[in-house]
A and B are shown apart, each in its own frame.
Chain A
Amino acid sequence: MVLTLSWTTFACGRPPAPEAQNPTRNVSPSVQAQLPDGQYPVQQVTYNDAGGEYSLFLLDTPPNIPSNFRTTDLRMARLTEAEVSASQPNYLKVEAGQASLHVAQDFQIQYVHNVTETQTNPQTGQPETVVVRQESNFWTPFAGALAGQAIGSLLFRPQYYVPPVYQPGGVLTGYGGYGSTYGQAVNRYQDRYQAPPAAVRNQQTLRTTGRLNAPSANRPATRPNSGTARDRSSGSGFGSNTLRQSDPSRPSRVNRGSGSFGTARRTRSRRR
């Protein structure tokens, strides 16, 4: 339904394109797609900095939709003066599959902080991030500090917010970064604190292969390795990914995206 709505919203006046024949490939069934467009009063919001996931407890959801809504893609805005004077409760607005949370200035989001440590997995020898314990706190994105800051009416427009640096004990006020995209919010945070936000750091996955860290990596091979007789040579690789992972409840399928390019796009699909 969201699909249809977005089609009608954005496709008005455009000639029907070939895609119209297989609209299922266009917009992926994201978390929000389960929730029909509309406004839902919000009872409670929890933010988990392990993956930057918001968990919202909603009221008045349709009968077949669970009241617990989880997403990593959530924009936030402050209730406008008009809404406050009309005693409008905090609400979640879903529009064309995009969720935005509208809350009062003093609204407290439960903040779950994960204390992490980097440990070496004894089985693989690879460093990995492990959650040691969780701490609970509150985050008021629109309280206090914000009032003095000159972003004025921006507050009322839904934007992405990244929480400030976690401090045990006190309530977290204000934001660490904001932006019209999540990436922009993260960049602002990074400019300010010279480090990535907790949600990004915890999501950051370093993968390595080969002998990069082995003591022998510094020492050249002193004789032709037997690899020359094999079908593959040696190699090493490393990589870091800060993209947020797909929703685990959704079936994982790598479809080819909306546009492929490059010389290898045909050979690769045949290869594997």
Chain B
Amino acid sequence: MTSWRDRLNRMGGRTRFVVCRLFVHLSGQEVAPLLGVLNQAGRQAIEADGDLSVLGEGLVQIAQSLLQYDAYWRSASNEGDVFWDEGEASDSVTELFTDSASRYLSEPDLTEPEPDPDEPLSLPVTQNLVVMLTVAYEGEVPALETDLADAKALETGLKAMINLHYQGTLRAIQVHFSPARLGDELTSDQLLLNFPELVPL
């Protein structure tokens, strides 16, 4: 059914836009260094004022780090849509940003007391980390447009995402992650509550 419509639109010379979101849940204390990679990519994105090529490089870094931590993947999920209208794809990207952001508390916690300099430093290390990657691209990438709740498929999908940056077909990039920084925790209850779509790998 889809292929029929795809064929029709392709004959009309229309551009195919794909918007897809990928959830990767990692578990284990060893994944904490990923938070550094994620925050660094975020700061670079802000410094570059949202330049897509800078965000693309950040995405490559993140995807490569995720691939290195494949032993800690616990569950994953993905979803996506094909659009033939750029405006609709753009609306979908905006909607996904809001949806991803609603799964964590993004407001700085102002009630947090200033740390006492004499207090010994102790850091709880999060057991869980969820990374949400959303991309919009032109064209067709079968490796991403399938069910990715499988370690092998996820690996192929992340590699395909890296390639998209170098092919220059990316039109939008979003990265969300929870918890935000070292010392914050994402508990298993919070995970179940806010990421119900995750499928164990």
A148 within 8 A of B: no
B6 within 8 A of A: yes
B171 and A243: CB pair below 8 A?
yes
B115 and A222: CB pair below 8 A?
yes
Interface residues of B in 26-47 (CB under 8 A from A): 38-39, 41-43, 45-46
Q: Is the interface of B mostly helix, strand, loop or mixed?
A: mixed
A220 to B78, CA, bound (A): 30
Stretch from B66-74, B158-166, B179-187 contacting the other chain = B179-187
Count how many chain B residues have C-beta atoms less than 8 Å from C-beta atoms of the other chain: 101
Query: Given A18-B1, A222-B121, A227-B105, does the pair A262, B80 have CB atoms closer than 8 Å?
Result: yes
B92 within 8 A of A: yes
Count how many chain A residues have C-beta atoms less than 8 Å from C-beta atoms of the other chain: 82
A243 and B93: CB pair below 8 A?
yes
> Residues of B contacting A96 with CB < 8 Å?
12
> Residues of B contacting A18 with CB < 8 Å?
1
A217 to B87, CA, bound (A): 34
A227 to B17, CA, bound (A): 38
B90 and A237: CB pair below 8 A?
no
A98 and B13: CB pair below 8 A?
yes
A263 and B12: CB pair below 8 A?
no
> Residues of B contacting A227 with CB < 8 Å?
105, 109, 179, 184-185
A217 and B180: CB pair below 8 A?
yes
Task: Give a binary string over B6-26; 1 marks a CB under 8 Å from any A CB, 0 the rest.
Answer: 101101110101011101000
Q: Which of A237, A254, A258 contacts B176 (CB 8 A)?
A: A237
Interface residues of B in 64-108 (CB under 8 A from A): 76-95, 97, 99-101, 103-106, 108
> Residues of A contacting B63 with CB < 8 Å?
none
A264 and B23: CB pair below 8 A?
yes
> Residues of A contacting B90 with CB < 8 Å?
241, 243-246
B183 and A222: CB pair below 8 A?
yes
Name the residue on A nearest B134 (C-beta): A239
Query: Given A206-B46, A250-B87, does the pair A265, B79 have CB atoms closer than 8 Å?
Result: yes
Q: Which of B4, B76, B101, B181 contacts A211 (CB 8 A)?
A: B181
